[in-house]
Amino acid sequence: MMSGQYPNNEGFSSGLGGAGTTGPPTGPPTGPPTFGSDAPGGAGPPNLPPPSAPSGDGAGWGSSKQVVRNPVPRVIMAAVLAVVFVGVGFAGFKIMSGESGSATPAEAVEALVDSMRSGDPLGMFEAIDPAEREAWVEPAVSLGQEMARLGLADEDMTSDDRLTFGDGMHIELVEPIEYSVEEVASGDTNISRVVLVGGKIRLQIDQEAMEEIFRDSDIWDRAQPVESEDVTIEFSETGVNVSGTTESNESEPMFLVAVDHGDGYYVSLMYTVAELIRLEGGQGPPDLDERLVPIGADSPEEAVRNALEAVADLNIEKMIGSLDPVEFAVLFDYWSLYGDSARSDLAEAMQEAQDNGVSWQIETVDMATEKVNGRTVVVITSFAASFDVASPDGFVEGRMEYDAEHLRLEVEVEEFGDAGRLLFELNTAEKSLLLELEFAGESASLEGTMDADGISVQGGGMFASDVNLEFEFDTMTGRVDIDSADFPLSAEGRFSNGCFELTIDGRPERPNCDPEVAEFVRALEELERALGSGEVWEAPLPRVVVVERDINGESGWFVSGVPTILDGITHQLSTMDPEDFD
């Protein structure tokens, strides 16, 4: 049983180090060589300061204080860079093993940029942190294959276990990139910022080719990262100038972060974003000696159970510690900057809940483990949780159960001496639903079925002795009859030629032909299709990808992040057929 109180109070009393308070490095960076040109080594160094950060009053990883500057634009800018430097690298990418990183942070970024100049997108990914490659690319390939099977993407997009945009995107190094290197922290992990202080790159997108890759669906229209087909990003000592987007230009140099976990330096998007947040908050570098210790599990199921317990108990150490320490290495390394604050905030939230008589617990969790594309997936086959809210005037108690065949929610309430009860149950095996309501001695209930033929609901109680609702998809007609002393009603409705025609107690109403009516009809037609295919009654069971890691000579299982999200989407697509998207 997992409850709203951590059993041993471990979550809120153990001290794992405070937030760093020293300022960012202030010494001059090393001279910026130029790469991406024929002349190695580059020009002499301008005396550039590190990217500026607000002092003292910042709102960074663990602070709730506000700053004048908004970190969002810089994070968005990092995302744009990720698309250019990393996202385009999907083209022709197939994961390689046994490769080592670069000897220095500069060489890691240089390898990334040189791959642009040589037109080698695979080389771009060899410079990316292997943990990010593993977490993002392999699941993305599986997702792309399902999209191709369903006709949502071209089959060539995932040929030979590769994910490629073909001729849809082209990246070009227009002017050599200049940079300076600044060390952030060193230890078991070495972290450095590579500041881009000169150069220009160009991203060209062939909209027709991309639409062809995505089979003229609206997927590309929704997913494309920039508005223009031709984007130029220019770096300088004073900031970044991005053409072809609505994003405002930056007044500070942009940077990428290179990390070394013991196998050489790689460029990391996650560490880059973490550094943006840290500097915007005016915090010092992370104390790697205070790195959070991973909490490995003995089995895949135990890893998921640990994560659920951590959420139920609001235990931040266990929440983060249960995550894959390779994929989420940045959260472990930057723990000293946010751990104490997060622990304090959650402890305060827990205490406030207790003071207000609120408690919750996860009662039962049943799981099954399966292998999917070489990954271990834990499926939560059934789940039950409850909550209680107590007050001087009464109480509220609720319980929820969920499995592949039904969803059941029951709530009991008492207030000022009046008792009530609400029950909602969805039975996927029988394709039926039930709603019961009791309060102050009165009761009512509704039972119904829903399939490709139509919807039928019957019941009564409280204000109506009898209620009957029928709707047929074939004719798009429905009828409602309510037998009530106070509110009797007999109505018929029909959708026809984009209009809704309603008759109440034998009196026709004026037809409603608003555009919203046609949209509602399309929604009903989609519901009819979904009911016919059975997908409405296929309860999607939660799926969690877990991974086994060797940490300090001991093996343990951890919850994976991005693969869990992509696996859920891929699995849902695997249950569908191409005609479902006609």
Q: Where are the domains of the chain?
A: 73-285, 289-404+548-582, 408-537
Structure tokens at 208: 């027709």
> Does the CA dihedral 550-552-556-557 come out positive or negative?
negative
Determine the Cα–Cα distance for residues 245 and 232; give it in Å rounded to an integer.
Answer: 10
Query: Concatenated DSSP letters for 193-250?
Result: EEEEEEEEEEEEE-HHHHHHHTTT-SHHHHH-S-SSSEEEEEEETTEEEE-SSSSPPB
Taking residues 179-189, report their average pLDDT: 92
What are the Cα distances from residue 375, in Å, to 138, 363, 370, 563, 564?
10, 28, 8, 9, 10
Determine the Cα–Cα distance for residues 443 and 493; give it in Å rounded to an integer.
Answer: 29
503-520 pLDDT tens trace? 998 899 989 999 999 999
- CA 471 centroid distance within chain: 38
Determine the Cα–Cα distance for residues 314 and 345; give it in Å rounded to an integer.
Answer: 10
pLDDT at 310: 95
Amino acid 30 reads T
Amino acid 496 reads S
pLDDT at 338: 94
Determine the Cα–Cα distance for residues 246 and 248; give it in Å rounded to an integer.
Answer: 6
Determine the Cα–Cα distance for residues 459 and 482; give it in Å rounded to an integer.
Answer: 10
Could you tell me the pLDDT band of residue 224, with boundaries at 50, 70 and 90? low
Percent of all residues in the chain with a pLDDT value above 70, rounded to a whole number? 71
Q: Which residue has the higher pLDDT, 546 or 219?
A: 546
Contact 153, 582 (CB under 8 A): no
Q: Which residue has the higher pLDDT, 3 or 22?
A: 3
Taking residues 463-487, report their average pLDDT: 88
**DSSP helix/strand/coil, 568:** helix
Contact 132, 326 (CB under 8 A): no
Q: For residue 408, what are the β-bridge partners? A: 401, 425
Determine the Cα–Cα distance for residues 580 and 265; give it in Å rounded to an integer.
Answer: 46
Contact 178, 33 (CB under 8 A): yes
Of 187-191, 259-263, 344-348, 439-443, least confident by mean pLDDT is: 439-443
> Phi/psi zone of residue 534: left (φ > 0), alpha (ψ -120 to 50 degrees), beta?
left
Taking residues 307-334, report their average pLDDT: 95
Determine the Cα–Cα distance for residues 414 and 390; give it in Å rounded to an integer.
Answer: 10
Closest CA to 250 of 280, 284, 287: 280
Contact 11, 54 (CB under 8 A): no
Please identify which residue in the block is written with the tokens 């989420």: 328
| 179: number of Cβ within 10 Å | 28
Determine the Cα–Cα distance for residues 8 and 147; give it in Å rounded to an integer.
Answer: 47
- Does residue 83 carry a pLDDT above 50? no
357-375 pLDDT tens trace? 999 999 999 999 999 888 8
Q: What phi and psi values does residue 289 have, to the nearest 5 degrees?
A: -70, -20
- Does residue 198 carry a pLDDT above 80? yes
Taking residues 270-278, report their average pLDDT: 92
Could you tell me the pLDDT band of residue 163, with boundaries at 50, 70 and 90? low
Structure tokens at 448: 């119904």
- Mean of per-residue pLDDT scores for the chain: 77
| 304: number of Cβ within 10 Å | 26
Torsion of CA 269, 272, 273, 274, to 10 degrees: 120
pLDDT at 552: 83
41-66 pLDDT tens trace? 333 333 333 433 333 344 455 543 33
Taking residues 451-467, report their average pLDDT: 86
Of 22-26, 349-353, 472-476, 561-565, least confident by mean pLDDT is: 22-26
Determine the Cα–Cα distance for residues 490 and 68; give it in Å rounded to an integer.
Answer: 61
pLDDT at 86: 44
Taking residues 552-579, report their average pLDDT: 85
Amino acid 463 reads F
